[in-house]
Every structure is written in structure tokens, then in C-alpha cells.
């Protein structure tokens, strides 16, 4: 989310507000859904991860293109940005819970938690450097 403002604000405050709010709602809803509809097939989890990564690439592209809009109209571009944020957030939330479930079943839950925290810290540090030190995003 450190680049969420760069990705959304070229389309206005309403788009930014919708992306933040709906993404915050989609995250726990998908985690809750994963409790009732668990996914234990690795190929499905890998496919969802690949789709989420493609969506994340679009998010990064919109953030890099900021302050200009990647799409000419606010309606189309804003809708696409909000949907991309919500769907990618929901998808990664579902994948994260599914992977944790698979790790729990195999006895690797502790290691999964450690790697999740290390990855989160590494990603936060990388984005901090790119945003504040390198000034990659405008």
C-alpha cells in the first residue's frame, strides 16, 4: 500500500478512497472465505498467485506513470484501478490463508509465519527505499 496513493490519486480522491476502503473490506472477507472453502491444490494456488502478480504489475505501472493517468478517462481508468486493487488484495489474501493451511497440515506453520514476516519486512523496506530514497514514484 505504500504505492497505493501514487497508483490511485491521478484519478481523484474518490478513486483512492474506494480502493483503500474496498481493499480493506476484501482482505478479511477472502480470509474468512478461505476458512470455509480451503484450497489445498498447489497448482490452483500457483495460478492465483500468477494472476495476482499480473495485477500487481499493473498497479506498479499505474504508480510509475503517476501523476499522469494511464487511461484517458477517469471513469474507465479509475474503475480499472479500483478493481485491480480490490481483486489483487482479495486474491493474495486467499492465497496467503491457503498456503498457511497447507503449511499447517504439513507441520511447517511456524516456518510459514517466519517467512511471511520476513517477506513483509523486506517488501516494506524495499518500497520505503524506492519511494523515499530513490524517488522512483512522483
Q: Are 95 and 52 in contact (CB under 8 A)?
A: yes
Q: Average the pLDDT over 75-79 and give the result.
A: 93
The whole-chain average pLDDT of the chain stands at 93
What pLDDT sits at residue 138? 78
Within a 13 Å sphere around the CA of 118, how many CA atoms are in the beta-carbon half? Answer: 6
Predicted confidence (pLDDT) at residue 110 exceeds the cutoff of 90: yes
pLDDT at 73: 85
pLDDT at 1: 57
Q: What tens digit of pLDDT does each residue of 2-23 get?
A: 799 999 989 999 999 999 999 9
Q: What angle do CA 51, 49, 30 make, to 5 degrees?
A: 95
Q: Determine if the pTM surpasses 0.75.
A: yes
Query: Which helix (H) or strand (E) is 40 found in, with range?
Result: none
Closest CA to 85 of 60, 64, 103, 49: 60
Q: Of the candidates 4, 117, 108, 10, which has an alpha carbon nearest to the alpha carbon of residue 68?
A: 10
Q: What is the pLDDT of residues 62-76, one digit of tens each?
A: 999 988 888 888 899
Amino acid at each position: 500500500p505504500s504505492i497505493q496513493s501514487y497508483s490511485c490519486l491521478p484519478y481523484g480522491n474518490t478513486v483512492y478512497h474506494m480502493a483503500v476502503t474496498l481493499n480493506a473490506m476484501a482482505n478479511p472477507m477472502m480470509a474468512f472465505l478461505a476458512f470455509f472453502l480451503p484450497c489445498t491444490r498447489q497448482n490452483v494456488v500457483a495460478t492465483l498467485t500468477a494472476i495476482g502478480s499480473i495485477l500487481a504489475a499493473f498497479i506498479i505501472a499505474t504508480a510509475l506513470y503517476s501523476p499522469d493517468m494511464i487511461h484517458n478517462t477517469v471513469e474507465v481508468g479509475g474503475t480499472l484501478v479500483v478493481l485491480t486493487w480490490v481483486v489483487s488484495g482479495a486474491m493474495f489474501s486467499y492465497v496467503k490463508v491457503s498456503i498457511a493451511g497447507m503449511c499447517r497440515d504439513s507441520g511447517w506453520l511456524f516456518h510459514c509465519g517466519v517467512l511471511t514476516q520476513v517477506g513483509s519486512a523486506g517488501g516494506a523496506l524495499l518500497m520505503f527505499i524506492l519511494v523515499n530514497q530513490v524517488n522512483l514514484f512522483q
